[in-house]
Chain A
């Protein structure tokens, strides 16, 4: 498969290798894993032995290592460059955390070995839980949710279980229109009808509208704070009070927790439940899309409904309560995930938290907010900020500055790729036109931000000067040019098939 328009004979371009699929590198019979031949040959498979082949390719170890090395080189990453993807908190991932997660005493532990042989692991979960409770001021935390959206579900399930325990069958969850898509999707999964609430023209919650809508049918209000416009919801306490007065619960989406760690306690905002994305705020690597972890802190009203399992400490050491409906888990609504949650992510996040300590965590949220405001101020020279500052840890711009230039937010993003930067989050939140949401995080230096600002201002001026083609043709220096997403969706090719099968299907 030639991929460079015929510029070279090989299809590669210097260090940019065009790499065949593993299925196109098959040498039948070859394997990169050798193992002893069993001395024992009796089988007890009944009639279930398979006689057909799967069609998996055979590659040698050198070929496999080269394959993935070349693939990796076609990825942008936080290790290689600035990644200001709004709402994603792409901060540096310390290698200490990777090293510790690989200690055999953590990595080589079976979830069902006797708890007497896994006391250190349970202590680690307990210690991380302690930090999360202290940092949020809430009395309980459900550790097992696997990611942010999973944590949202945990929070809403606890809310629903609490309401149903009182015989209160409320049906509606209120979600601002600026919310992450996971919020309404989660509320629907918990069996609620979602009602969207419009933001004010200032990018904040419309407190009056929320108050007017609250009533005996509303189970919860889900709010992201700081919100996805990068602004702190000043009226959070007033909203929380109104929500509680109406007999409902206050869920806070913790995706943006990085802005406020060590600077406030959720308990003082009246929060009943919030998930914490350990892979954002507490620096577990994103791994190209996971794994994450979404421990969910809970108020005392919700605590007893938390999912199993949870770690208990008593005079005999650490134990796990694994069964809903029994003992301390008498009210638990059930189980969210197999085993004990994302233990490997817990190790990384605890190492990160201990490294920073409370002083470092507070400095980190401060620097994250400082960096975002620095971008907001400096880019405002040419860009159109959607709302006046100060912002929190992310800065939101829209596409008014591109009006009549013929350049879209998408084009602009692709031109940033040529400048060596990962684009910001585009077209989200939905409340402004052509959104550009930038989250620099605290681990970027001033020099990096200055380089970025320079490129961004130059690009903005170029767009305004009518050099539309520069943007329409971008990216030119990435491994591939712009990809045809419409074609991918119209006639989906979701897996490789041998040529003959593919032809027969056509």
Chain B
């Protein structure tokens, strides 16, 4: 067994040193009846070659998005991943280290986290960001919980613009915490008029821009309305590439911004692992969940970084902690940070512009097809398309032709008939002109 270094002789010598007759002596505390019952009918070990062969078969039973024109989004986005990024995150010093509990020998991770926190703060227009959460959906739930702590209120209002799975995760996470989570009915044609619903018993309003159906929203007025009632405004972002060219939630008055970072961090991976970004205002930092790296000096006066403000966290505060999170999404946060460093200000804007230009081009083509409507005045790289036929049927027809042509909204809302014909279409820089052409022709034919 290639991962186990001991020889039988060494095992015997070690048992002798311990003073045990057999390995079983060391398991003497486990009741014999329990040990006797432990009979497993399971496969034995395999060579590296055999494992690789078996799993490669499973991999081949999937249609990978690189082999099909792919227009899928709905919270997970396919972008080009620079080769340098994947190389760096496979360096063993990053890949195989633990949480940086010993700062003197973890400066690599800690400095990278500090840079990540700064990048996230800059990109969202917020003051501080943490070291990461599991994903966008759990970050959203944590934001709502934090708003309840800050405001000492227990009612949360979630817009129809928020990703349905984020709404479900938030609802489940707060289910037993005595918090009432109200979710508005999703409407792909308009944005919710949330300002009319803000009241002084709400802890927060949660909305998303670009929204689940693609809408970009100016939230300045909503933020003012919330603040006048002591309500926090939580903004979710599932496609952070949009931040390369749209106004920042922080600049428009958001109090907490949460993002799914996958679209920048790396491959789709069937939806996980992703990385949750979490940013807020400085005055709320002690109510924030998750780890934080902070700058300090060592005993020679040299600059360095440590994990800090851990009195918020479970290993110190136990049942009074701001969250139970321990392991977060460190390596994916690093990947996110590396990509942002590779892009820089100029590259990030170019990437966003390319996405938007291609998306506008596809939208214009689709609008030219009879019966197709796009009722989104402002969008980034994703938009809801109203089809003259059920979207699931069209998506299946396209899939049979090897085109991943969009995500039917009914997959998320099977009981909402008004969404039956709604297809979410995403276009990124990875879509070639020939992809666009193929998609347009296939769509035209499927709808004819």
Contacts and interface: CB of A to CB of B under 8 A. Distances in A.
Given A110-B270, A495-B128, A40 B360 contact: yes
B81 to A, nearest CB: 9
A484 B299 CA distance: 7
A116 B399 CA distance: 9
Interface residues on A, range: 35 or more
A259 B297 CA distance: 39
A460 interface: no
B51 A351 contact: yes
A418 B129 CA distance: 33
Interface string A87-115: 01011111010111111111111111110
A393 B360 CA distance: 58
Given A99-B52, A185-B324, A289-B327, A109 B1 contact: no
Interface in A457-498: 475, 478-485, 487-489, 492-496
A28 B228 CA distance: 39
Contacts of B304: 3, 480, 483
A35 interface: yes
Interface residues on B, range: 35 or more
Nearest to A487: B296
Q: Among B109, B123, B326, which residue has the most Cβ atoms of chain A within 10 A?
A: B326
A78 interface: yes
Nearest to B49: A96
Given A134-B40, A147-B325, A495-B129, A75 B48 contact: no
Q: Among A83, A291, A293, which residue has the most Cβ atoms of chain B within 10 A?
A: A291
Contacts of A147: 134, 325-328
B316 interface: yes
Contacts of B26: 369-370, 373, 390
B306 interface: yes
Contacts of A487: 296-297
Interface stretch (A241-249, A279-287, A399-407): A279-287
Contacts of B319: 184-185, 187-188, 194
Interface of A is mostly: loop
Q: Among B30, B123, B399, which residue has the most Cβ atoms of chain A within 10 A?
A: B30
A268 B369 CA distance: 63
Contacts of A94: 2-3
A328 interface: no
A360 B334 CA distance: 33
B360 A354 contact: no
Given A42-B360, A110-B78, A289 B109 contact: yes
A56 B298 contact: no
B316 to A, nearest CB: 7
Interface string A42-70: 11111111101111111101001101110
Contacts of B404: 110, 113-114, 117
B371 to A, nearest CB: 21
Given A76-B97, A364-B4, A483-B296, A107 B269 contact: yes
Interface in B279-334: 285, 291-306, 308-311, 313-321, 323-332, 334
A451 interface: no
A146 B82 contact: no
A52 to B, nearest CB: 7
Nearest to A101: B269
A54 B74 CA distance: 26
A124 interface: yes
Shortest Cβ-Cβ A-B pairs, 3 listed: A339-B271, A287-B331, A105-B59
28 contacts: A3-B302, A21-B118, A30-B344, A47-B218, A49-B245, A64-B341, A65-B88, A76-B97, A103-B56, A107-B267, A116-B396, A160-B176, A182-B326, A194-B319, A234-B31, A262-B40, A279-B327, A287-B96, A288-B99, A336-B169, A338-B271, A340-B270, A344-B272, A367-B4, A483-B297, A489-B311, A495-B118, A495-B121
Given A32-B341, A67-B341, A123-B61, 12 more contacts: A44-B378, A69-B88, A73-B108, A106-B59, A109-B65, A109-B269, A112-B72, A286-B327, A354-B43, A356-B3, A358-B43, A489-B309
